[in-house]
Amino acid sequence: MKTILLFFALFLLNYSFAQTGNCGTDGMHRDLINRLPGYEEKVNQNNRNLYEFLISGSGNEQEKTTYTIPIVFHIMHQGGPENIPDATVIQAVDQLNQRFQNSGPYFDASGHPADIQFCLASVDPWGNPTTGITHDYSSILTLNYYDYVQDWTFKTQNRWNPLLYLNVWTVGNISVDPFQNPLGVGGYGTFPGSPIETDGIVGRYNLFANNSSLLTHEVGHYLNLYHTFSNDCTNFNCMTDGDRVCDTPPDMSNDNTLCQGNSCSTEMSDTSGFNPFTSDVQDLPNYMDYTSCPLSFTQGQVNRMQAALTLLRSTLLQSNGCGMHPGGTVPVASFTVDSSAFCKGTGKYGFHSTGANCLYAAWDFDGNGTIDTVGEQVVHQFAGSGIYHVKLYVSGYGGSDTLTQTIYAFVAPTPYYPISGSISGTSLDPILHIPYACIGAQISMGGVPGMSSYQWSNGATTQNSVFNIDSTTELSLTVTTSSGEQLHSCQPFKIGVNPRIHLSIDVGADTVACGELVVLRWYPIPYWFPATNTWYRNGNWFSENQTVLSNYGTPAGDQLVWVANNVDPIGCITNSDTAHFYVRDHIPVSLSFDGTTLRTSHDCIANIWYRDGVQITGSDSSLLVTQNGCYWSKCIDCAYSTTDTICITNLSLNEYLADTEIQLFPNPFSKTLTIRFSIPQQNTRIELLDPTGKLIQQAIMNGSDFSLKRENLADGAYLIRVYNDLTHLNQVEFVVIE
């Protein structure tokens, strides 16, 4: 069965773990997966190794012993209450040991002792006596736990060798991730396999004085325990699903309001042979859950932590941090510097720790006493040319060692060096921020003076390279100094040219008729300067400052159109490609007659109509015929086009009248009468008359159908008259309304 917990966020505020804030380990884990290639696979491989170790039974066959881990607390502060006293830390470690041993006030009958204890370090990495507690002024008082970069910066302020010490940092506050932890974060830890520069635990300073289980919870993560509610209710193999521990029931709830609850019903889904459950059971309070109830570790969790300690964090067991393993071999610091893998002038140098007996290497590149990075092989990029005192700190089982070397780092003033930056004939692209020039412009570029030889990528061998540019160009320069050293441009110097615009012509074919619409359109580079355009046709100006130009094909003949485009402040003028189309010298126009109306085959700008050779009224492409005669039209566009002639006689009109049929239905009618003509009508008058001939209603219709509404007419007989004086149509029909 599954308990639906709708109000866990509200209840969480009233219980102990919620008062400490939630755990941020999952958030840090996700950030490391997203940022660091290889990290997720390393953690997964660690889990596979633990699985093989535990199913082999090796974890159960270890001799009964108590493991001791050296722990160091770094109290990061700015002089406020976050600078907690040593007594608070000592008390927190005492509570941690009792919780891990399931003893004292933290004994729980369902729990098991972990046989893992923690000692505040008594020997620091340099072999000196210590309390295991440092107090360090920090520039960071509020920490974004889900930001790997800030986490690394924060921990670098003071970090002891993470292979030999469990580092715990306290901080003023840990900022809230509103999506993952709306109630806030009390602390977070790292899993085995985390980068050495992030390894350890971070907690809010005020939680160590509140009898909190937070430190125990985060140490559980440090020893490869997951939340009991990890990865929902899936439980096909309890060693690989959920929290990867078999004797913690499947759990998907982080609600701490119930000491006994059941959020999953998949206990019996596991048929791997490792499943200890024979029925569905209640979830039990656990240090790796969020709960206000008595807490403990299960035997399965103890086995997993001990296996993680002996397999994945075994160097901790050989540490002399608590004075238990003296006499280790003292490490010797040594390192090499090499810049051959990088272009000279970038300021990048490779450093390799080559000393003996070293487990941990930390680097200070500017001699200010602050660790800049950690690792056996690292790359550092210096900010400027000069002398640097690089210090290496190494640490091993027998103590620590340091070595300082003085190096000269060369950082070129620009990525293009030894190109001096002296250039003429260009302007600056306001968007791309690179030099550009007009096509064909003369460009002069200079190299740094005083070199014994010059070799430009375009073949020039003098200090200055002068050339005419016709396309985007990238130049680099190699020089030989007076001492024989070669320097090469780490990045080519790029010069663009003002872009050529593209012109298109929107027509259906390459040949258009005189008077046909042509749309010319040019396409500038969208981010470029505002343009001033001049349109040319056959070498002659005909328009300016139009991106889209609508043009009637005129005059007749070949049309060659292009745009001269002035696009920038330095006056580069670029001609577009040329659009070509051919314009015919006239438009063929024909004439048709539908029985009432003459029409031309082309919509001309204007028409002049003639009957029997005499101009008559009308300028549209259609003419309603009212008299007999021979008709033709002159179409006016970019040129005159004359139609053929159609002669209309009385016979054709009589035939029109004879062919016209009228239907009235339904008849009799009660609401609406439909009048239908066999030939479409124009300006035909419909009249409704009473039996005496008195006009009652009338309307003008166009088309084939007309609807006559009754509109309060009394029952009886009526007359319908259809009349058109132009077509000599005059017809009377009898209808009945009932």
pLDDT above 50 (res 527): no
Ranking 352-361, 480-489, 704-713 by mean pLDDT, the lowest is 704-713
569 preceded by a cis bond (ω within 30 of 0): no
Mean pLDDT confidence for 13-19: 38
**If DSSP codes are grouped into helix, strand and coil, which group holds residue 640?**
strand
The pLDDT value given to residue 13: 28
| Confidence tier at 346 by pLDDT (50, 70, 90) | very high
What CATH number was assigned to the domain covering residues 507-583?
A: 2.60.40
Of 455, 448, 331, residue with least CA distance to 392: 331
Average confidence (pLDDT) over 604-624: 83
CA distances from 43 to 30, 35, 36, 53, 137 (A): 12, 14, 12, 15, 33
Residue with tokens 């593209």: 502
Split at pLDDT 50, 70, 90, the class of 2 is very low
Instruction: Report which of residues 409 and 428 the model is more confident about.
Output: 409
Output the pLDDT for position 9: 30
Q: What is the mean pLDDT of residues 520-543?
A: 66
Q: Write down the pLDDT at residue 352.
A: 98
Do domains 28-53+70-225+300-318 and 507-583 share one topology? The answer is no
pLDDT tens-place string over residues 20-31 = 568 889 988 998
The tens digit of pLDDT for each residue in 648-695 reads: 765 343 344 445 678 888 878 888 888 888 778 888 888 888 877 788
Residue range 662-736 forms a domain whose CATH class is: mainly beta
Average pLDDT over residues 591-613: 82
- For residues 486-509, give the mean pLDDT: 74
Q: Taking a C-beta distance cutoff of 8 angstroms, is the pair 698, 685 a contact?
A: yes
Lowest mean pLDDT among 110-114, 454-458, 732-736: 732-736
Supply 212's token pair: 């909190």
Instruction: Kindly tell me the sign of the dihedral angle through the C-alpha atoms of 194, 197, 200, 205.
Output: negative
- Backbone φ and ψ of 202, nearest 5°: -120, 135
DSSP state of 278: S
Best CA proximity match to 136, nearest among 204, 93, 75, 64 = 75
CA distance 12 to 117: 30
In this prediction the pTM is 0.64
Answer yes or no: are the C-beta atoms of 435 and 427 closer than 8 Å: yes
**Between these two residues, 546 and 383, which has the higher pLDDT value?**
383
Mean pLDDT of the chain: 83
> Are residues 553 and 583 in contact, defined by beta-carbon separation less than 8 angstroms?
yes
How many other C-beta atoms lie within 10 A of the C-beta of residue 209? 14
Assigned CATH class of 419-498: mainly beta
Most confident of 74-88, 255-269, 536-550, 639-653: 74-88
pLDDT winner (highest mean) among 111-115, 438-442, 514-518: 111-115
Q: Do 15 and 292 form a contact (C-beta atoms < 8 A)?
A: yes
**Cα separation of 311 and 306, whole Å?**
8
| Lowest-pLDDT range of 239-248, 351-360, 374-383, 553-562 | 553-562
The pLDDT value given to residue 3: 35
Range in 30-39, 163-172, 493-502 with the lowest mean pLDDT: 493-502
How large is the average pLDDT for residues 338-349? 93
Domain spans of the chain, in order of start = 28-53+70-225+300-318, 228-286, 335-409, 419-498, 507-583, 591-648, 662-736
Name, in order, each residue with C-beta under 8 angstroms of 589's C-beta and a sequence gap of 6 or more: 600, 601, 602, 604, 633, 635, 641, 642, 643
Most confident of the ranges 22-31, 181-190, 705-714: 22-31
Q: Tell me: pLDDT of 168 over 50.
A: yes
Most confident of 150-154, 624-628, 684-688: 150-154
**58-68: pLDDT as tens digits:** 656 556 799 99
CATH superfamily assigned to domain 335-409: Immunoglobulins (2.60.40.10)
Query: Beta partners for 493?
Result: 475
By CB neighbour count within 10 A (0-12 exposed, 13-18 middle, 19+ buried), where does 235 fall? buried
The whole-number average pLDDT for the span 558-563 is 70
Percent above pLDDT 90 for the chain: 43
Higher-confidence residue of 16 and 179: namely 179
Residue 704 has pLDDT above 90, yes or no: no
- How much is the average pLDDT of 543-562? 66
pLDDT grade for 7, boundaries at 50, 70 and 90: very low
Query: What mean pLDDT is predicted for residues 155-176?
Result: 94
Residue 661's pLDDT is 74
How is residue 603 written in tokens? 């919509």
| Alpha-carbon gap, residue 122 to 319, rounded angstroms | 11
Question: Higher pLDDT residue, 284 or 487?
Answer: 487
Residues 555-577: b if buried by 16+ CB within 10 A, e if exposed: eeeebebbbbbbbbeeebebebe
In this predicted structure, which of 429-433, 470-474, 619-623 has the lowest mean pLDDT? Answer: 429-433
pLDDT at 57: 79
The pLDDT value recorded for residue 571 is: 63
pLDDT average, residue stretch 204-227: 90
Q: Report pLDDT for 5.
A: 33
User: Would you say residue 166 has pLDDT above 50?
Assistant: yes
Looking at the chain, how many residues does it have? 738
What is residue 361's predicted lDDT score, i.e. its pLDDT? 96
> Above pLDDT 70, what percent of the chain?
80
* Cβ pair 248, 230 in contact under 8 A: no
CATH of 28-53+70-225+300-318, one of 3.40.718.10, 3.30.410.10, 3.40.390.10, 3.40.47.10: 3.40.390.10
pLDDT above 80: residue 8: no
